[in-house]
Amino acid sequence: MPDSEDGPQVFQDELARIEAAVDAGETDASTLGFWKLVRQIKADPMLSAHWADQIGRIDRKLFEARVRPRFPVWFGNAVLAMGLLVAGGAIAYAVVCDNPTVSGALLLASGLILSASVHDLAHWAWGRIVGIRFLWYFLDGPTRIQPGLKTDYASYLRTAPTARATMHAAGAVASKIVPLIPLAFCLVADAPGWAVAGLIAFTAIQLVTDLTFSVKRSDWARVRRELLVARAQETRKR
């Protein structure tokens, strides 16, 4: 595996080798050494910008060879926005409904819907603000039922690592905050205590999941990774 001091020709040769293997049908990025090479390149902002297009092209080929079904970004955003509208309507009806049980059920359901809907929308919105583009929505997670959002890795590499970290954090933070909205309406709607307890428990479970899982394999792990890249880039400048 090349070192950043080996010169551009070595990186060019390695990326050409990997892309040729991907074009031939190889889809195991780890076996090809792709991500190890990307980690080396990411440590240098000049190398990241220089090789962004080719790395982004390889990453897209790998993703599209392995992941189906895929959905256009506009379609995924529209579906998730509909989820926000449904949750908002549920909250509104819960406030005016004279049946506490129905109000409680609607507020509890709206918390879950808001959290699921806002997560990737927050990634997308903040990502676009900092300059990251996205390619596809797809079905993610162990059960393949939760939405995932695929970055355009070329634009990702051209974005500062601290900004990339904020994009990853945006979804995680937003999905923890939005259940507080129906929780705040529980008093207005005279919702039963179990609805309040359910929303608090849901938020607590999400926080525990972040502390035990996300810091190792999901959003917070990516935040930490990109902050370490930022530190490595700063060290290289000195």
C-alpha–C-alpha distance, residues 142 and 20, integer Å: 31
The 10s digit of each residue's pLDDT in 90-121 is: 999 999 999 999 999 999 999 999 999 999 99
Give the DSSP H or E segment for 135.
strand 134-140
With 90 as the cut, is the pLDDT of residue 122 above it?
Answer: yes
Mean pLDDT of the chain: 93
Residues 6+ positions from 69 with CB-CB distance below 8 Å: 138, 139
Residue-level pLDDT at 21:
97
C-alpha–C-alpha distance, residues 32 and 43, integer Å: 20
- Of the candidates 174, 184, 176, the one whose C-alpha atom is nearest the C-alpha of residue 94 is 184
C-alpha–C-alpha distance, residues 152 and 133, integer Å: 5
The 10s digit of each residue's pLDDT in 55-93 is: 999 999 999 999 999 999 999 999 999 999 999 999 999
In residues, how long is the chain? 238
The 10s digit of each residue's pLDDT in 158-186 is: 999 999 999 999 999 999 999 999 999 99
Residue-level pLDDT at 215:
82
| pTM listed for this prediction | 0.91
Tokens standing for 75? 């379609």
C-alpha–C-alpha distance, residues 123 and 116, integer Å: 12
Torsion angles phi and psi, residue 149, rounded to 5: -130, 120
- Beta pairing class for 70-72 and 146-151: unpaired
Torsion angles phi and psi, residue 26, rounded to 5: -75, 130
The 10s digit of each residue's pLDDT in 179-207 is: 999 999 998 888 999 999 999 999 999 99
> Which residues pair with residue 148 across a beta bridge?
138
Q: In the chain, what are the domain boundaries?
A: 1-66, 68-237
C-alpha–C-alpha distance, residues 192 and 121, integer Å: 31
Name the band, by pLDDT with cuts 50, 70 and 90, for residue 219.
Answer: very high
Strands of 17-128, DSSP E: 70-72
Residues 6+ positions from 54 with CB-CB distance below 8 Å: 15, 19
